[in-house]
Amino acid sequence: MSPDQALATGSALLYRQGRLLDERRWQDWLDLFTEDCQYWVPAWVSEQQQTQDPDREVSLIYYDLRSRLADRVWRVQSGTSVASDPMPRTCHAVSNVQVDTAGDERIELFACFRVDYHWRAKSDAFFGHYQHTLRREGDAWRIARQKISVLNDYIPTLLDFYLV
Amino acid sequence: MNAIHDGARPGPERYLHDDPAAGVFDVHRDVYRDPALFELEMRYVFERHWVFLAHETQVPKPLDYLATWIGRQPVLLHRDDKGKLSAFLNVCPHKGAAVCQSESGNRKFHVCPYHGWTFDARGNCVLVKDRAQGAYPAHFEQADTRLPPLARFGNYRGFLFGSLNPDVPPLEEHLSGISAFLDMIVDQSEHGAEVIPGRSYYTFDANWKMQLENCLDAYHLTSTHPSFMNIAASRASGGSSFRNIDIADFVDPAIPSGSYTFANGHAAIWIHTANPEVRPLYRQYDALKARVGAERADMMLKTINFTVFPNLQFSCNACIQMRVMRPLAVDRTEMRSYCVGPQGEPAEARKLRIHQFEDFFNPTGLATPDDSRVYESVQAGLRARSAPAAGLGHLRGLGQVIQGPDAFAKEIGITPLTSSSGRSDVQDETVFHGSYREWARRIKAGLASEVPA
């Protein structure tokens, strides 16, 4: 696959992911991931240093199975989580998409994100960097690894998958 | 003018109607919403007493430093090149700039960014820039140029505490009662406990005492955390390889539990863990039992939440959470949350501990966000000043609380001021009383110490 094709494929998938989250199409969003996907939001050890090893250091969120991610999706739509009701309105903006690896079976991407959200009569935002590994599964490209580096980690009340 | 003097009853008695014999323990809702009271509690509850600063494994190496707080005041911890820890206020004696701008790191000196005065890891001023040319008067030559050391600085088995007031009891005396619970964390490994890297800082828009209470509030679990309970149940029935504590187990009234208040505002609850096999510590049970004895090993496997008044809490369920409260305003609180584990823990147990911690705690977990939102709901509801000033939130269990230690407390050798034990479905609220009594005592003593203008 050429770098241009990889950029087009990867960008389309990242944009689609943002839109699915904004439109709360949770099952379609889960379907973007491989069953054995790694979903990782590292924590920070200090102002300048992020955690490196999710099994020896604490992450903000770490899963290595899509089913664990599905638990989280279930929770926000269950009606049993006060933190998820009402849900904030969100706007995912993804930019600066760059291809690090363009293979026929694997694409690695870097991108910037900003998620503005509005609830309880006020607006806030999370921003940072995405690193994605996409894997070809038949005709589809799916997310095998998604690392989300949240740069503003002084968190007002909560941060969940729909806010990054 | 102090709001506390405004009412019919002078002093903190106005805010705490404490008469358990008459079945009364009323906390006035102004303690959560009055900015003038917040000022008093910062001054008298936090800034005149022992306050938790950090765990020593957060500054493990020579010349490591960490910025923290006592009440509203910025504090620096620094380990010198010999390994000795010092604690001082983060303020330059010259113009008052904070000499350290970052939250943690490793350095030999702090150089004030304003005029370049330089301080070593013990807080001594080693350079006043261009001092010789300064034409300084004698007054300057006699002045103290150190970073102001804390009046008291103590280390209880790795837990570091400081006081801005020299007139406090020794740290061991302050902690007596609750130190047995700190010991149970430290003694899970022969090498002691450690803070695992990867911290979480967050805020909620509510009074800090909502958190103070909630850590020991068994009553909220089934109504605030049903989503977590459901996920735990579906993991159990689905045969998931990942398991965490199951709150549903705590609702069984047959499960033994207890809650205790201690001198100086500390408090603890325990509940028998129905599924100890999900705990990382359980994997070392035999070795643990051989080292500390069966009674203490079993105690370490219970679910224990406790408060070291006023700003430190632990939730020991599957993993161990250490949380540090920093009140920012009467209706805003900063939380610092850390995962704690035994040093030298096997890699698989450590991995489980970390992922259990991430699962439940932090503003990114499946339970803490529901707690934080509830605190904010309470803060919003408390704007209803036309509602009765006393809530009904401190009365469960009042019919069974006893003075002094219960049988279990005697068995494990702790000395609570009050005990409530028996059926776990009492979901006791008397466990909050001790902290409010200490709160009122400190404010009363603080007000009495002020010389009228």
Amino acid identity, position A44 = W
Mean model confidence pLDDT for chain A: 97
Indicate which of B227, B326, B340 best probes the interface with A, i.e. most A CBs within 10 Å of its own CB. B227
Residue A125 has pLDDT above 60, yes or no: yes
Looking at the predicted structure, is the pLDDT value of residue A52 above 80? Answer: yes
- Within 10 angstroms of residue B89's Cβ, the number of other Cβ atoms is 21
Written as one string, the DSSP assignment of B202-266 is: EEESS-HHHHHHHTT-GGGHHHH-HHHHHHHHHHHHTT-S-----GGGGG-TTSEEEEEE-GGG-
pLDDT tens sequence for chain B (453 residues):
344 545 444 578 889 999 989 999 999 999 999 999 999 999 999 999 999 999 999 999 999 999 999 999 999 999 999 999 999 999 999 999 999 999 999 999 999 999 999 999 999 999 999 999 999 999 999 999 999 999 999 999 999 999 999 999 999 999 999 999 999 999 999 999 999 999 999 999 999 999 999 999 999 999 999 999 999 888 888 878 888 887 777 777 888 899 999 999 999 999 998 889 999 999 999 999 999 999 999 999 999 999 999 999 999 998 999 999 999 999 999 999 999 999 999 999 999 999 999 999 999 999 999 999 999 999 999 999 999 999 899 999 999 999 999 999 999 999 999 999 877 888 999 999 999 999 999 999 999 998 665
Contact list in B for residue A51 (CB cut-off 8 A) is 197-198
Q: Do A43 and B357 touch (CB under 8 A)?
A: no
CATH number of A3-163: 3.10.450.50
Q: Which residues of A touch B364 (CB under 8 A)?
A: 41, 60-61, 155, 158-160
Domain coordinates in residue numbering, chain A: 3-163
CB-count burial class (<10 Å; 0-12, 13-18, 19+) for A136: middle
Residue A72 contacts B where some CB pair is shorter than 8 Å: yes
**A84-88 long-range Cβ contacts below 8 angstroms, 24+ apart:** A84/A160, A84/B227, A84/B369, A86/A119, A87/A24, A87/A119, A87/A162, A88/A117, A88/A118, A88/A119, A88/A162, A88/A163
Task: Kindly report the nearest CA distance between residue B66 and chain A, in angstroms.
Answer: 10
Of B341, B352, B354, B357, nearest in space to B191 by CA = B341
Q: How confident is the model at residue A3 (pLDDT cuts 50, 70, 90)?
A: very high
Q: Inter-chain contact B197–A42, Cβ cutoff 8 Å?
A: no
> What pLDDT is stored for residue B2 in this prediction?
46
Question: What is residue B175's predicted lDDT score, i.e. its pLDDT?
Answer: 98
Q: Does the complex come out with an ipTM higher than 0.95?
A: yes
pLDDT at B4: 53
Band of pLDDT at residue A118, cut at 50, 70 and 90: very high
Task: Verify whether the Cβ–Cβ distance A58 to B242 is below 8 Å.
Answer: no
pLDDT at B453: 59
Of A90, A108, A74, which is closest to residue A17 (Cα–Cα)? A90
**Which of 322-381 (B) contact A at CB < 8 A?**
338-339, 347, 350-351, 354-355, 357-358, 362-364, 366, 368-370, 372-374, 376-377
Q: What is the pTM of this model?
A: 0.96
Residue B361: closest CA among B183, B199, B239: B199
Whole-number Å distance between alpha carbons of B374 and B70? 26
Sketch out chain B's domains with CATH numbers.
Answer: 51-155 (2.102.10.10), 171-445 (3.90.380.10)
Answer whether A52 touches B (CB < 8 Å): no
